[in-house]
Amino acid sequence: MKTIGLLGGMSWESTAHYYSGLNKGVKAELGGLHSAKIAMYSVDFAPVEAMQHKGDLQGLAAVMIDGAKRIEAAGADFMLICTNTMHEFVPDMEPEINIPILHIADATAEVIKESGIKKVGLLGTAFTMEKAFYKDRLIEKHGIDVITPGADERKAVHDIIYQELCLGEIKDASKAVYLRIIDRLAEKGAEAVILGCTEIGMLVKPQDTNVKLLDTTEIHAEKAVEMAIKE
């Protein structure tokens, strides 16, 4: 079994779901007392969040490169970044390490294409919804049509992530906001909606809506289990 590297802490709430999902996935595949081999480095999220909102891309890249090097040194065979937003720095990280990064957008795109879906809605932080690093990868590399909510709705989604979900706060009123936005994306032609922030799955569940939801945390962890146990 390969050792999975996890770069987490952004936030630790969603990283805990990764750890649980990986171990449950390995046990489901191999049975008995099997669990995942994991090398994890978890950052302090407060300075990372401050740099995100200041737009300190150089500082953020340095944090991500440092974390990746630590994970490689700990013996990981490949690694996951336990957040959608910080995949912006994959191009900075890859030249600095010798192990592959399993990209969350690629893992999600595989599921989308296997389902025959052509058009998806994307929810996430403002960085993920508005910058090119995530949407363009889905559009240009995988041929998937991506739509996002309007400006006011993007702000609502973003604020709930940082002010509530990253703090472990789950509120019914916020769930209602998300479900209205998901319905509007479906009205605009989205055949499914990507929960493109690893915390959103804590708030919105598949049983909450008739719209197909793609939980990137679950998808990413499932793909990592496949890679880890594949001979």
Q: For the segment 71-112, what is each residue's pLDDT rounded down to a tens digit?
A: 999 999 999 999 999 999 999 999 999 999 999 999 999 999
The model's confidence at residue 25, banded by pLDDT at 50, 70 and 90, is very high
Mean pLDDT, all residues of the chain: 96
4-103+219-229 with 104-215: one CATH topology?
yes
Residues 6+ apart with CB under 8 A from 222: 21, 25, 107
**pLDDT (average), residues 142-162:** 96
The pLDDT value recorded for residue 148 is 97
Domain map (residue ranges) of the chain = 4-103+219-229, 104-215
User: Exactly one of 15, 82, 83, 198 is catalytic; which is it?
Assistant: 83
CATH architecture of 104-215: 3-Layer(aba) Sandwich (3.40)
Quote the pTM value: 0.91
Question: Tokens in use for 163?
Answer: 């002010």
H or E stretch at 49: helix 45-54
Which CATH code fits 4-103+219-229?
Answer: 3.40.50.1860
Question: Tokens in use for 173?
Answer: 């009123």
Work out the percent of the chain whose per-residue pLDDT is above 90: 97
The verdict on whether 83 is a catalytic residue reads yes
**Is the Cβ–Cβ distance between 224 and 80 less than 8 Å?**
yes
The model's confidence at residue 198, banded by pLDDT at 50, 70 and 90, is confident
> Which among 198, 191, 169 has a CA at the least distance from the CA of 8?
198
**pLDDT (average), residues 167-181:** 96
The verdict on whether 197 is a catalytic residue reads yes
User: Exactly one of 82, 85, 148, 197 is catalytic; which is it?
Assistant: 197
Residue 231 confidence (pLDDT) above 90 = no
